[in-house]
Structure 1
Amino acid sequence: MKADYLIFIKTGDRKGAGTDANIYIALIDKEGKKSRKIFLDCKWRNDFEQGRTDKFPVSNVPDLGEIEFIELSRDTKGFGDSWFCDRVWIIPNQPGVEPTPIYFPVNRWVKADGLLKIQKWDCCLPQNDVASETRKQEILEKRMYYTLDQKSPGIPVQWDIVRTKGILLIKSKMRRLTSDTWSSLKDLGNIYKKGTSLDIPMGMYRWKEDNYFGKQRVQGVNPVLVKLCTEIPSNFKVTNEMVSPFLEGFTLDEALAKKKLFICDLTMLEDVPLMGIPVEKELVNPYALFFLNKENDLSPIAIQLFAKTTEDCPNPVFLPSDHKYVWMLAKMYYNNADSLFHQGSTHLGFTHLIMESVAVAANRTLSMSHPLYRLIAPHFLFLIAINSRALNKLVAPGGWVDQVMTAGAGGMLSITAKRFQSWRLDRDGTLPEELKMRQVDDPEVLPYYPYRDDALPIWYCIKNYVTRFVEGHYENEKAIEDDWELQEFSKALVSPYPNGCNIKGIPGDGKFQTRQQIIDTFTSFVFISSVGHAAANFAQYDEYAFPPNYPSFMRGKAPRNKDPITEADIIKHLPHKAMTLDIMVVGRILSDRGTNALGDFEIDYIFDPIGTAAVKQFREELEKISEENTKRNETRNPPYAYLNPMHIPNSISI
């Protein structure tokens, strides 16, 4: 007998998704005419297994028009009856009907002995949904699972709720081959093996060079701190006499006037508590000054390790003309401070934690049928799971951060909390505005800035994608005003804890009124989840794995004078072998990419015509940007490979 329809059902690829229950479907056309309840079963086959797609030819379903809805149901038979349905698609097999698939994205657990009604494409604003009451109930149920919690005072809120075995195996094997302390810098370098997972990190090749120290500011793991210096801070005791030998004939005032000076200011670290392992250590709160030389490279010309100078704390300004190991140690202490800011603010605080806040707010307020939920959902994938592991394994008391970072987990989280007080989405989380704030948006001012030059094209590509999505679903401002789910989401983002996320700088400040406000907000969310995290995360092995290059931990006290020191003195400040191996192994794991590239979504959420057209154009634009990125890197030394779209994951998955 000829089938009237071919019905395809994909079971979700997640734990417990498959089922032994009996599954039923009913088809409903645009006029409301409904088929019989169809039992879906392929004899001699175990249907509805995890991750599998099953095909069912269906006959004796006459006189239906264009299918608009489906109703899914199941019973409780079998040992495992729970079922997570990924999606359903139906191909008509009838005379005069175009055999085009009709998609019903489900992405839900199907409850026993109930009916789950899904509209074609399942993508509409709540005020236009014919099943609005069911939709409201779904959101209420989700709120029981997505509750807000603040794991440490002052940080972004999170969900309330490994590769570990591989780490331990690697560490235990390597530790049997080593003693505790390094005999020399060469001895340290010998631990890396080309062609292995612990290959030579890029930072090892040029870490002694001032030129490379400057490049770390514009293409390292924390390229979001450097800014144009328009005046020397009053606490920074640098003088013209000190730095004039490094200014290529300019005076200090002339270099300032000609926009030749750039500064990194980490004085906000002054009050960060020292926690973690109880050894003699010190976290500095430095300034670093850079000169834009004739080769358009940033050359470090002065480092002051503490914001304040007192009688009890001599605080010299270190210079490139100082004894080579003294200058080397000053740069290492600066980078140690930079690493704490990188992990506490740039990485953990304002990719992982801020986006978990957004994810929880979205799940508490937006139905899965909402177009904007379908837009943002691919960028939440794995986020909550990896954050839970990070807080339980890495940032927990006694965990990895306590063991290998100068300020420990408590100190790092205090940086997150301090930065959260001033962080704003419309400034710090909006790339063009953030670059403008630091006055490094103009290539005429700072010609060589790989992070900016690679990130900006993707920012505008994401913005174009979001714009097409938003303008396609919101015809006017009335549609925005009537969208109660969107307005609840906006309110949740800005409301203080425990009722909301307390995020500052959300356009509309709790009430979206224009399409542009929605576009700006969701562009930032997609960018932070993908590009922002890639920039902060994937250079970790290259930067951290060779401790002299970018030390996460320093032993002893920072230098208070310029008396000559030796290589042996440098070694005394570095992590011992066991700690170095910890840094190497975890740095390698954190730098791995285990998910699809931006725009190539692991789970398909978008099937409606507006969304699919937007995704198609998004992918085409990303492909062009990838080609341009590859060409730029052919002339860079070293290359900056972290922000090629083909290497950027959709979400924060590691």
Structure 2
Amino acid sequence: MSSKSDYKVYVQTGDKKFAGTDANIAVVFHCNDGNSTDEMWLDNIFIDDFERGRRDEFPVSGRQLESVDIIELWRDEKGILDDWFLDVIEVKCESSQSTFVFPFFRWIKPHYRYRIRHLDTSLPHEDDFKDQRTMELEDKCSVYQLRVKIPGMPIQVKQIPDDEQFSFDYKWNIATRKIKMIAQSKIINLVSGTWESLSHLKNVYTSEILKEPASTTRWSNDIFFGLQRTANMNHSVINLCTKIPENLAVTEDTLRPFLEGWTLQQVFDSNRLFIVDYKILEGLPCKNDNYMVCAPLALFFLNGEQHLVPIAIQLKQKPAEDNPVFLPTDPLWTWMMAKMWFNNADASYHQSLTHLGFTHLLMEGVVVVTHRNISQSHPLFKLLAPHYLYLIAINTRGLELLVSEGGWVDKTMNIGIKGMFELIRRGINVWRMDQHGTLPEDLKARGMLNSKVLPCYHFRSDALPLYWAINTYVKKYVNLYYDTPDKITGDWEIQNWASELVKPREEGGCGILGVPGNGKIENQDQLIIILTSIIYTCSVAHAATNFPQYDEYAFPPNYPASLGGKPPTDKTPLEEKDILKALPDKPTTLDVMVVTKILSDKGTKSLGDFEVQYIFDPPARKIVQEFREELKEISKQVKEKNKTRNPPYEWLDPEVVPNSISI
């Protein structure tokens, strides 16, 4: 036997509930040349090792190895709390000063001898420990089970796994934060009653906690109403209009006063007319018979000052005597009321689809399918995992508190959960990954890809560079591990994953439409589109639709999720009192203010700055660093653009965009 040599072993215990252990831990080091150490026990006398979230150092002696290529590790069941979640072990050879890293990121079963390679990054056919890999995936399948909880809705996890629970309450305890925020804000005059005047409503925002939202001073402005289509939460429903729909009761004579001397054909030819059509809302049920939601159409014109302004709003799909087209020349409060009912429909679509359906719920199924099919030793698991942080946990908590019978949605939205769930059912049967989940294709389908079309489209301006940065990052990463298509077609984990992504929901799959390859990935390009779509949706798409919520919703006339009464059926002049009568009462307004404030607060790290670093392979880490550098440059560009934007569009500065759907 060769002489013994000292090693230093650094052990990082995970930061999860009950992650620390009192068990005894043993290791054996193996070298690729066949040599190994004897078993070595990791223990510092009189110190409580392996506590949650702590990094411990253990000096050990063992046979001198040329390199530590594999670590073998196991534990017993000693102690009161023997469960253990291990993040990472680093082994430093004192003789050579070389360090070897072993990412675990798993719960360590008692008496099972785990064998992990240095850097732990391998495609399934390359893994030396296939039995261990298979066992762990089988365990994941038993824990991450799929279930359609509400008929017709996206598939979700059957029961939240312990690993997906929040390890601490922090800001995600929405109920507790809500009570605390109301108390701290000292807003005690919102206990009951309705609003006396709009100025009375504006006077509510006196707290540092519930500040005056930006919309209070500009809500009635047509320019700001146009910006709500291009630079706010519901950013992807506007389309280039190339002809007037047959069911929109306008003529060229109707529109002429608003076209600044242009003929309608000239407006079409110069790409200056745009449309938002909410046909998908037609016939949507509401929470009860006292409420309704419109299914409006609206035309927007890009004027000579490069502002997008509304020029026609029809609140229902079918032209009729009691369904007039409202125009900017109509009586002031009547025009405002038409815009409010349009925004009520817009808010219904925003919360149901743009926000909950197309980010939170669709991606929950993707997260579950990833855990079920892709080993955590797989390089693509390591790529995706940072973008899944807390998603299942926030969905579980949010659905229990906000989107449940009698919850926040039922209290604050006309449609309630009945209408919301029906709208999600309609939407997920239309949403396609290769269009709606692939930003350039979505923009192209809506006639909005060309930057010369609607220059004030801030969402497009800021989202596209981020999409392409993510795409470049993914492309480099995929090409690092898949240099030939046969490596993809032969990767059974990725193929099983793709199959379950497209498998119909009624058969236990995600049922996502438009997944490139339709369940069988044949080349790098298809895989790159899928991975880019997932990372983009979990980060950029969610940030754009989530974080502006307080500024939009907290002043009800600006973006009313709830409106009482009926929409106007003629152009009779209305008054301020009619607006006030339609607005939600004081308690409902407070509920909207508080919850949208909580939802608008960022809680996790910025895109590229991962809470957990899963990637240790040096070439892959270089790719991550290049991604971070590109994000820094994009951040500078966004800040520069915002110097001349009024108001600035801050939501897609990479410093503001989190890695995951964590709130």
Structure 1 window deviating more from structure 2 (132-141 vs 632-641): it is 132-141
Query: What do residues 559-613 of structure 1 show as CA deviations (whole Å, max 9, x unaligned)?
Result: 0000011100100110100000000000000001010000110011110123211
2:559 to 543, 550, 567: 550
Aligned residue in 1 for 2:357: 349
Aligned residue in 2 for 1:74: 75
CA distance, structure 2, for counterparts of residue 547 and residue 101 of structure 1:
58
CA distance, structure 2, for counterparts of residue 177 and residue 148 of structure 1:
42
What does 1:54-453 align with in structure 2 at a 5 Å threshold?
A: 54-59=56-61, 61-94=62-95, 97=96, 99-161=97-159, 162-171=173-182, 174-175=187-188, 178-193=191-206, 196-275=208-287, 278=288, 280-310=290-320, 314-453=322-461
CA distance, structure 2, for counterparts of residue 430 and residue 77 of structure 1:
51
Aligned residue in 2 for 1:16: 18
CA distance, structure 2, for counterparts of residue 616 and residue 73 of structure 1:
34
Kept in 1, the 8 Å contact 2:10–2:58? The answer is yes
- Identity, in percent, stands at 46
What does 1:16-35 align with in structure 2 at a 5 Å threshold?
A: 16-35=18-37
- 1:613 is paired with a residue whose SS is helix
CA distance, structure 2, for counterparts of residue 206 and residue 540 of structure 1:
16
CA distance, structure 2, for counterparts of residue 337 and residue 501 of structure 1:
28
Query: What do residues 147-175 of structure 1 show as CA deviations (whole Å, max 9, x unaligned)?
Result: 11112222211111113112134446634
- Residue 93 of structure 1 deviates from its aligned partner by 0.9
- Residue 280 of structure 1 deviates from its aligned partner by 2.3
Which residue identity is paired with 2:52?
Q
- Residue 534 of structure 1 deviates from its aligned partner by 0.1
- Residue 177 of structure 1 deviates from its aligned partner by 5.6
1:613 to 611, 617, 622: 622
Which residue identity is paired with 2:43?
D
- 1:501 is paired with a residue whose SS is coil
Inter-CA distance 3–635: structure 2 relative to 1 (3 Å threshold):
farther
- Residue 32 of structure 1 deviates from its aligned partner by 2.9
Query: What do residues 522-568 of structure 1 show as CA deviations (whole Å, max 9, x unaligned)?
Result: 00100000000000100000110101000010101000000011100
What does 1:570-609 align with in structure 2 at a 5 Å threshold?
A: 570-609=579-618
CA distance, structure 2, for counterparts of residue 487 and residue 470 of structure 1:
15
CA distance, structure 2, for counterparts of residue 197 and residue 441 of structure 1:
39
CA distance, structure 2, for counterparts of residue 25 and residue 630 of structure 1:
51
After superposition, the CA RMSD in angstroms is: 1.4
- Residue 254 of structure 1 deviates from its aligned partner by 2.6
1:627 to 615, 636, 654: 636
- Residue 466 of structure 1 deviates from its aligned partner by 0.6
- 1:4 is paired with a residue whose SS is strand
Which residue identity is paired with 1:297?
H
- Residue 207 of structure 1 deviates from its aligned partner by 0.7
Kept in 1, the 8 Å contact 2:114–2:132? The answer is no
Kept in 2, the 8 Å contact 1:219–1:451? The answer is yes
Query: What do residues 163-191 of structure 1 show as CA deviations (whole Å, max 9, x unaligned)?
Result: 31121344466346644110000111111
Kept in 1, the 8 Å contact 2:4–2:63? The answer is no
Deviant stretches of 4+, over 4 Å: 175-178
Query: What do residues 181-205 of structure 1 show as CA deviations (whole Å, max 9, x unaligned)?
Result: 10000111111126x1211111112
Kept in 2, the 8 Å contact 1:280–1:557? The answer is no
Query: What do residues 272-309 of structure 1 show as CA deviations (whole Å, max 9, x unaligned)?
Result: 1111xx47222000001001111111111000000013
- Residue 103 of structure 1 deviates from its aligned partner by 1.2
CA distance, structure 1, for counterparts of residue 602 and residue 340 of structure 2:
28
Inter-CA distance 328–176: structure 2 relative to 1 (3 Å threshold):
closer
- 1:586 is paired with a residue whose SS is helix
- Residue 239 of structure 1 deviates from its aligned partner by 1.5
Query: What do residues 459-508 of structure 1 show as CA deviations (whole Å, max 9, x unaligned)?
Result: 11111111111000012111112111010001000011233111011111
Structure 1 window deviating more from structure 2 (3-12 vs 13-22): it is 3-12
- 2:119 is paired with a residue whose SS is helix
- 2:86 is paired with a residue whose SS is strand
Query: What do residues 415-465 of structure 1 show as CA deviations (whole Å, max 9, x unaligned)?
Result: 111011111000010000001111111121211111001011111111111
CA distance, structure 1, for counterparts of residue 311 and residue 529 of structure 2:
38
CA distance, structure 2, for counterparts of residue 193 and residue 370 of structure 1:
52
Which residue identity is paired with 1:64?
L
CA distance, structure 2, for counterparts of residue 494 and residue 163 of structure 1:
34
- Residue 43 of structure 1 deviates from its aligned partner by 1.8
Structure 1 window deviating more from structure 2 (447-456 vs 165-174): it is 165-174
CA distance, structure 1, for counterparts of residue 508 and residue 77 of structure 2:
37
- 2:607 is paired with a residue whose SS is coil
Aligned residue in 1 for 2:167: none
CA distance, structure 2, for counterparts of residue 449 and residue 570 of structure 1:
30
Which residue identity is paired with 2:56?
D
CA distance, structure 1, for counterparts of residue 320 and residue 570 of structure 2:
14
Inter-CA distance 11–255: structure 2 relative to 1 (3 Å threshold):
same
User: Which runs of 5 or more residues in structure 2 are unaligned?
Assistant: 160-172
The answer to whether 1:488 aligns with 2:496 is: yes
CA distance, structure 2, for counterparts of residue 537 and residue 113 of structure 1:
45
